[in-house]
Amino acid sequence: MVAARIPHAAVPVVLKPEDTPLREEGLLPPGGLPAALAERTRRALACGALVPIETAQVRVDDGGVRFLVRVVSSLGRKASAGLGSATGARPTINPFLPPEPELTVAPVTRTHLAVLNKFNVLERHLLLITRNFEHQETLLTPADFGALCLCMAALPSLGFYNGGPVAGASQTHKHLQLVPLHFGSEGPSPPIAPLLTGAGPRCPALPFAHAFGRFGVSMGGEPLLAAEAMHALYRNLLTRLGIGAVPRGGQAYQSAPYNLLVTADWMLAVPRTAEHWRGISINALGFAGSLFVKDHAQLELIRAAGPMQVLRTVTGGSKPGAETG
């Protein structure tokens, strides 16, 4: 069984197979995601269902991180489609019930589907959506992490979650997201990695509020065995940020907005107090070291202020945000 509490240092966690989400016939076989993703991407591009957004990439050094800032010239395409965007527009429809067949990569578990991000800035950008409607502001569950683990075991990925609109979420239907771990053309991946030192719960070099932890389990050949451990660490980090569960309609909702970053080795949770900085929307990828702007004027605003100051502002300042013990 999973330990009730994961301390600061990573520790081994023993899980029984019956404690993990079960797989069923007809689901994506182990290791089958790369081929399914490549084939669905090819078909979606050919039929026009997948609409990549072109960007120009600029590096901005700040606080020991080489931030990757993408200048997106066609954000209006996504906003005009009524699906929301990094400009803050909110959708009026739910594109996940059902998702477009041309964008649906595969069923991953009995509870989750893998779907291509229709208006993708990064190649191989996947959405992990719940098959039935769950609200984006409900807390993540072991089933969410089970689907995430299966995908991350097949593809070296950075998983991320935007907990509510203040954290940059443009859809209310629960969805985690995955992008290739190496999403930059140079330097460490993700760019924030050099500052993620120690076992947590604090990384001394990070100037914004956060809670950090490493895993004591490996996804190895049994990725579902990591799901409960990841979930336990996730709840531990939120607790350190003062974010708890609020019962509503029989569901456990988050008590405050946050962003989450997950790799096979570590997890970073960041509280949010504002979605925008001077009109620029910041989501979880900002805390990985990747920012998106709609034009060169916004790029110059970020360059002048420094990306770290932008991140400090949307997290409520430079408060530690986590226990120091």
The angle subtended at Cα 197 by Cα 192 and Cα 199, nearest 5°, is 125
Instruction: Tell me the per-residue pLDDT of 6-51, one tens digit each, with 9 for 90 and over.
Output: 333 333 333 333 333 444 545 777 778 999 999 999 999 999 999 9
DSSP string, 304-322: HH-HHHHHHHHTTSS---S
Least confident of 31-45, 227-241, 268-282, 306-320: 306-320
Average pLDDT over residues 125-138: 97
CATH 3.30.428.70 is right for the domain spanning 49-314: yes
Q: Give SS3 for 63.
A: coil
Of residues 88 and 264, the one with the higher pLDDT is 264
The angle subtended at Cα 261 by Cα 59 and Cα 320, nearest 5°, is 90
Average pLDDT over residues 114-124: 94
Instruction: Tell me the per-residue pLDDT of 57-83, one tens digit each, with 9 for 90 and over.
Output: 999 999 999 999 999 865 544 443 433
Respond yes or no on whether the N-terminal peptide bond of residue 190 is cis (omega within 30° of 0): yes
Among 283, 40, 30, 41, which Cα is nearest to 149's? 30
Of residues 236 and 183, the one with the higher pLDDT is 236
Residue with token string 């990439």: 57
pLDDT at residue 174, as a whole number: 98
- Using CA of residue 19, residue 24, residue 28, residue 29, what is the dihedral sign? positive
Band (4; pLDDT cuts 50, 70, 90) = very low
The angle subtended at Cα 116 by Cα 175 and Cα 90, nearest 5°, is 55
- State the distance between the two ends of the chain, measured CA to CA, in whole angstroms: 26
Q: Give SS3 for 7.
A: coil
Contact indicator for 210, 270 with CB cutoff of 8 Å:
yes
Residue spans of the domains in the chain: they are: 49-314
Average pLDDT over residues 246-266: 96
Contact indicator for 191, 67 with CB cutoff of 8 Å:
yes
Instruction: Tell me the per-residue pLDDT of 288-298, one tens digit each, with 9 for 90 and over.
Output: 999 999 999 99
**Contacts (Cβ under 8 Å, ≥6 apart) of 48:** none
Band (317; pLDDT cuts 50, 70, 90) = confident
With helix as H, strand as E and coil as C, how does 157-199 read?
EEEEEEECHHHCCCCCECEEEEEECCCCCCCCCCCCHHHCCCC
Instruction: Tell me the per-residue pLDDT of 146-172, one tens digit each, with 9 for 90 and over.
Output: 999 999 988 989 999 999 999 999 999
Instruction: Tell me the per-residue pLDDT of 167-207, one tens digit each, with 9 for 90 and over.
Output: 999 999 999 999 998 876 677 789 999 999 999 999 999 99
> Is the pLDDT score of 122 beyond 80?
yes
Average pLDDT over residues 292-308: 96
User: Torsion over CA of 228, 233, 234 and 239, rounded to 10 degrees?
Assistant: 130
Task: Count the neighbouring beta carbons within 10 Å of the beta carbon of residue 203.
Answer: 19
pLDDT at residue 85, as a whole number: 39
- Residue 269's DSSP bridge partners are 211, 260
Band (101; pLDDT cuts 50, 70, 90) = very high
pLDDT at residue 91, as a whole number: 55
The amino acid at 120: N
pLDDT at residue 192, as a whole number: 96
Contact indicator for 293, 71 with CB cutoff of 8 Å:
yes
> Is the pLDDT score of 312 beyond 80?
yes
Alpha carbons within 13 angstroms on the beta-carbon side of residue 67 total 24
- Dist CA 181 CA 289 (whole Å): 12
Report phi then psi at 167, rounded to 5. Answer: -95, 5
Q: What is the mean pLDDT of the chain?
A: 85
- Dist CA 4 CA 233 (whole Å): 10
